[in-house]
Amino acid sequence: MDEVIKLVTDKTGISPDQAKSAVETVMGFLKDKLPAGISEQVEGLMSGKDVTGGIAGMAKGIKDKLGL
């Protein structure tokens, strides 16, 4: 998540604390709106966890939810 906070700080010129707050707000929104399996994958990506195979699992979850 630190990389995303730095990116937001660099792109917008806001302070790291403000960027952290913004990123946490967006992450909270996504966790509330996305299906559980997908939101967990997004959270894993944002936290820097090794999610090898996670993208494939996320894509499968999306396909399943869409009935494809």
Cα of 55 vs its chain's centroid, Å: 12
What proportion of the chain, given as a percentage, has pLDDT over 70?
A: 79
pLDDT in tens, 20-41: 999 999 988 988 888 877 877 7
Say if residue 55's pLDDT is above 70.
no
Structure confidence at residue 12 (pLDDT): 95
pLDDT band of residue 6 (cuts 50, 70, 90) is very high
C-alpha 57/C-alpha 23 separation (Å) is 24
pTM, to two decimals: 0.63
Annotated domain spans of the chain: 1-33, 36-68
